[in-house]
């Protein structure tokens, strides 16, 4: 019996929301709860979606890791609704493939690159 190599790990995608001006931690509580809820929902659906805060002096980032380069998903919609409720200006980066295989990392679909407008929706 021939030994078959293990399946290649699935490609994950990373993108970020950039919130300017940076938000104090007390204003981010509802967003933190929302990020935790979206992560749990993704796990229950056997998907990958997780957001984390990166707080800096000039900007607050929300780094998102997902199993899809699509930006028009319900989790992002709910996140953007909450950002608008907070009246927080934000932009979004284009998704980038995260992979050990350089060929996969360079093969971001054109639709994902075109999806980023660089401004709040």
The pLDDT of residue 46 is 92
The pLDDT of residue 105 is 46
User: How far is CA 61 from each of CA 4, 51, 102, 103, 106, rounded to the nearest angstrom?
Assistant: 41, 10, 26, 28, 24
Q: What domain count does the chain have?
A: 1
Is residue 18 in some structural domain? Answer: yes
Mean pLDDT of the region 1-29: 86
Between CA 95 and CA 87 the distance in angstroms is 24
The pLDDT of residue 101 is 62
Mean pLDDT of the region 108-118: 42
Is residue 6 in some structural domain? Answer: no
Could you list the residue range(s) of the whole structural domain that residue 19 is in?
A: 12-115
Q: Give the CATH number of the domain where residue 93 resides.
A: 3.30.70.600
Question: Does the predicted TM-score (pTM) go above 0.85?
Answer: no
């Amino acid at each position: 019996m021939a030994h078959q190599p293990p399946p290649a790990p699935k490609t994950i995608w990373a993108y970020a929301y950039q919130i300017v001006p940076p938000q104090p931690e007390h204003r981010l509580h509802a967003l933190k709860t929302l990020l935790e809820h979206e992560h749990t929902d993704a796990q229950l659906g056997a998907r990958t979606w997780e957001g984390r805060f990166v707080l800096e002096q000039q900007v607050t980032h929300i780094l998102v890791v997902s199993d899809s380069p699509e930006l028009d998903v319900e989790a992002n919609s709910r996140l953007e609704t909450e950002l608008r409720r907070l009246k927080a200006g934000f932009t979004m980066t284009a998704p980038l493939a995260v992979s050990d295989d350089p060929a996969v990392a360079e093969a971001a679909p054109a639709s994902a690159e075109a999806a980023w407008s660089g401004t709040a929706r």
